[in-house]
Structure 1
């Protein structure tokens, strides 16, 4: 047995020694890799600063400073591992783990910072190409401006000022943006020739963004004409559909909601301008759609209510009164036997009372009367369950001995009959109340 235990210990120690050796190898390899990484990244930083300027490379420069600081700690720990003072395995293991951790952190930080600059550096390298494309785009968009102005003039003859509000000044805005883009492109070229790369890059980005916005405005003017024509076509279809809905509404239940929706749709149709009047097809289409949808919804609700009539106020009040009586019965029994009633019966009663409270404010509104009826019925059902559970608790809590009844025993028989009479009277009273109310 001792030999087996010794063999197991030797195997565990051998595995631990192998893990420590691998950790030491990782620590040494990490130190070498990060030290080399610092050298190459420093060279990359010099190039990036020359291309982008110091402002754009601030994060990478700070990351290199932090990595050098922590790498100094890692080299110090590695030195302690190899000095003349003997170390325990735990000390070596702790130091090597810390060295490996610092090296992994440094590598990940430098990866993150250099990756962030890759796109910027690539853009800088392509700056001459990008600048040439910007100038080409400026010339192309400038050629489209006269057509955009003609389009606006044509639109102004057909549509109202409110319809054209979003594009009316578009041609002038695009022209201003293109002028600014051309100026920024010239500034970028001059700054790059002067070796002021950071300013050149900023000017180039500004020029590119101005061209993008100008293109979006010019495209928007041309698209607006198509969208306006589509809105007019759709408006004609909605008008025809709305007139058909007004005819169909005559067959729907004539409740106030339907009458109001019909009036709103008729008003929206009457507000449509004559064919030769400048209009805003987008606004008219939106208003007509809203009125049309309102009528559809009102008719659907009216037909649903016709298929399922709303309970009358008298029926709802009857259900509420019935719930009140059943709650009163359950509350009376529970209050008279407090020590015998468990949590189930009390919970049902509390829920019945809460549901009854929720039902009351809903009973006065036609739209919520059906919900009030449902809640009232649920309240009565919960109260009935509470009464049944209370009776179960009472029956199970009575002493089971001859003195309380049984064969020849009068006390239990008397108690049972009395309690049955009380409960029966309460329930019968409730039923009779329902009968006379009905």
Structure 2
């Protein structure tokens, strides 16, 4: 008994300590949340001045929501310290709610201020960013003549179709640079006029325009490198393709391989003569596709050669065998329904399902079709064989069930009411007496031949 009261005392002391810790956390949380609201309010004033009220609406709405909920926290804290006595459970519930409200307030304000942090930082660095935009615009303008020279040099080697993706790049880059410089000026004027939101929009537009102009100019130089790489790869693919055509003579000469050979030969014949402006990217794509097509056709032909398509006769025989196995299994199970267990019935049901799937796969009754396309024979053969196997297995299980249910000595001279009960009566799984046997007979549970012999 002393141990019980000692444990109870320790539990009470632990609970009191937890309540005291929760009360301290509530006091700290409410102070920190109140300070965070004041700090974020100051940040909102600056953000609205820099970005405009539309950009800071989410933060403003969050502050309003936090003030309302913190009011609830202050009210709960007041209830904890008024003159009305409170139970420990009441204090515990209020303090937990205060901590919850304050944590939520901190998380919400963190989320909203983080979204604006980068934009506010950009606004503070606006003069520096604008100076960088102008420097980049000057540098890129100096690269425009080189880009035009590169384009002229490329036009002497590559076709107009190949150059179409970059031929307008220098002109477009020049327009973007002009737009970037104009936007930078607009940003400065709007900021001086106190229109901070418009100033920031113009700042972002000028920054993006300079970035796009640089990408377009760089693409001209990159094209030359990529085109040379494509020509190098194309040469390797051409050499490989010629070797594949020679090897294809040793492959099975089936229609798919012959078609792929003709396609690869056409791709090789379509290559431009020396000195003609080319499109290495288009040529490389066509050669790769034709080369891969031949490889796939040869691989499929060799696989088929190793595993020939089943003859129609074999498939037909397999379907007929499945139908025969199903017919026998159905008859035996239907004639002995009371004796057949779940395993035999399940095998028969699955065999019948596969047989129906075969009809659907062939698009007609498999029992009446006179031809089966080669591409369907292998699958049809597999399904028919599986159906026949399951039907055969179901028949074996059904026969096992029949033997297990049939009383010992069934059909022997002197059996049952005509000659007395033999030794082992009831040795089957059911057991029971002559009434069970006759009930089974009357229910059609014995095959016809045995019934005939019994009544004879």
Separation in 2, partners of 1:110, 1:365: 69
| Per-residue deviation, residues 57-111 of structure 1 (Å, max 9, x unmatched) | 2222222111111111111111112222222222222211111111111111122
Match of 1:215 in 2: 214
Q: Which runs of 5+ in 2 are unaligned?
A: 363-370, 423-440, 451-456
Q: Which is worse superposed, 338-347 or 204-213?
A: 338-347
Q: 1:409 aligns with which of 405, 415, 427?
A: 415
What's the offset of the Cα at 1:8?
3.3
Quick check: 2:318–2:385 contact (8 Å CA) kept in 1?
Answer: yes
What's the offset of the Cα at 1:30?
1.2
Separation in 2, partners of 1:401, 1:346: 24
Secondary structure of the 1:8 match is helix
Separation in 2, partners of 1:74, 1:237: 75
Measured at CA, do residues 286 and 420 of structure 1 come closer, stay the same or move farther in structure 2, by a change above 3 Å? farther
Separation in 1, partners of 2:223, 2:4: 87
What's the offset of the Cα at 1:322?
1.3
Match of 1:430 in 2: none
What's the offset of the Cα at 1:401?
6.0
Quick check: 1:238–1:288 contact (8 Å CA) kept in 2?
Answer: yes
Secondary structure of the 2:156 match is helix
Match of 1:227 in 2: 226
Match of 1:78 in 2: 77
Q: Aligned runs of 1:198-209 on 2, under 5 Å?
A: 198-209=197-208
Quick check: 1:359–1:373 contact (8 Å CA) kept in 2?
Answer: no
Q: 2:381 aligns with which of 373, 378, 386?
A: 373
| Per-residue deviation, residues 22-56 of structure 1 (Å, max 9, x unmatched) | 22111111111111222222222222223333222
What's the offset of the Cα at 1:219?
0.8
Separation in 1, partners of 2:240, 2:288: 10
Separation in 2, partners of 1:20, 1:233: 77
More helix by share: 1
What's the offset of the Cα at 1:419?
5.3
What's the offset of the Cα at 1:12?
2.5
Separation in 1, partners of 2:244, 2:357: 38
Measured at CA, do residues 401 and 300 of structure 1 come closer, stay the same or move farther in structure 2, by a change above 3 Å? closer
Quick check: 1:67–1:106 contact (8 Å CA) kept in 2?
Answer: yes
Quick check: 1:20–1:93 contact (8 Å CA) kept in 2?
Answer: yes
Q: Which is worse superposed, 313-322 or 267-276?
A: 267-276
Matched, 1:111 2:110: yes
Separation in 1, partners of 2:413, 2:107: 90
Q: TM-score, normalised by structure 1?
A: 0.89
Match of 1:89 in 2: 88
Match of 1:257 in 2: 256
Secondary structure of the 2:131 match is helix
Q: Which runs of 5+ in 1 are unaligned?
A: 423-438
Task: Give the 4+ runs in structure 1 shifted more than 6 A.
Answer: 410-413
Secondary structure of the 1:51 match is helix
Quick check: 2:335–2:447 contact (8 Å CA) kept in 1?
Answer: no
Q: Aligned runs of 1:383-422 on 2, under 5 Å?
A: 383-398=391-406, 400=407, 404-405=410-411, 409=415
Measured at CA, do residues 8 and 406 of structure 1 come closer, stay the same or move farther in structure 2, by a change above 3 Å? farther
Separation in 2, partners of 1:268, 1:143: 43
Match of 1:302 in 2: 301
What's the offset of the Cα at 1:408?
5.0
Q: TM-score, normalised by structure 2?
A: 0.85
Separation in 1, partners of 2:376, 2:402: 39
Q: Which is worse superposed, 52-61 or 22-31?
A: 52-61
Measured at CA, do residues 133 and 420 of structure 1 come closer, stay the same or move farther in structure 2, by a change above 3 Å? farther
Separation in 2, partners of 1:148, 1:134: 20
Q: Which is worse superposed, 383-392 or 332-341?
A: 332-341
Separation in 2, partners of 1:326, 1:156: 75
